[in-house]
Amino acid sequence: MKKQLSEPVIIHIKKSDAINSVYDWLGSFIFAAVVVVVALTFFIRIVDIDGKSMLPTLVDKEKVVITNYISSPENGDIVIISHGVKYKDPLVKRVIATGGQKLNIDFKNDKVSVDGKVLNEPYIQGKTIQEDGKIPSVIPKGKVFVMGDNREESSDSRGTRIGLIDEKDIIGHVRCVVFPFNKIRFVK
């Protein structure tokens, strides 16, 4: 006599709404975490301000959000510059002139001119003093001339320690201050 096989038993397990919600929430959290990691790695960074060279615009110990540069820097941009041969830490400075622009600094009358136009610089603190560097009358292509807003206490393109900056050494554009929380603001 041949043994007859029984029909397979199919069990239907219905996930509860609570379990579905947990899976949905967990999936959303993982997706959001991946987006944040990718954004922080490739598009934005948080950087600490160290020093007084950008007073009054940026204050020592503030944390700023920077975006990576996709295009060339423009006059007035506040940028983070990677460390180089003559300085060990990243720098934060304001772009004054870019490659091909004519630059003139009248130290006696405290005036900075780019392409023959005197800059309106309501953000600066102190007098624009001369340092030990030679300031070219025309900025070479691929370079930028930068200065700190606190002109009396800033080492910048006016001196030989920093000098002109290669555009490729600019790692980001400062967008806003995010810490301390009572000082959150966009930066211009």
Structural domain includes residue 12: no
Catalytic residue list contains 53: yes
> Does residue 5 register a pLDDT over 80?
no
Assess if residue 88 is contained within a domain. Answer: yes
Segment 26-32 mean pLDDT: 84
100 domain-assigned: yes
Q: Is 188 a catalytic residue?
A: no
Residue pLDDT, tens place only, 32-72: 888 877 766 667 888 899 999 999 999 999 999 999 866 78
pLDDT in tens, 70-82: 678 999 999 999 8
100: domain CATH number is 2.10.109.10
- Rounded-to-integer distance, Cα 183 and Cα 62, Å: 9
State CA 89 to chain mean position distance: 14
Active-site entry in 53, 154, 155, 157: 53
- For the chain, the domain total comes to 1
The position carrying tokens 């997706």 is 31
Assigned domain for 24 exists: no
Inside any domain, residue 79: yes
Enumerate residues 6+ apart whose C-beta is below 8 A from 64: 46, 47, 49, 58, 92, 174, 175, 176, 177, 178, 187
- With respect to residue 1, please indicate whether it lies within any of the assigned structural domains: no
21 is a domain residue: no
Task: Pick the catalytic residue from 93, 143, 154, 157.
Answer: 93
Residue 7 scores a pLDDT above 80: no
In a domain, 153, yes or no: yes
Give the domain extent around 137.
47-186
- pLDDT-derived band at 173 (thresholds 50, 70, 90) equals very high
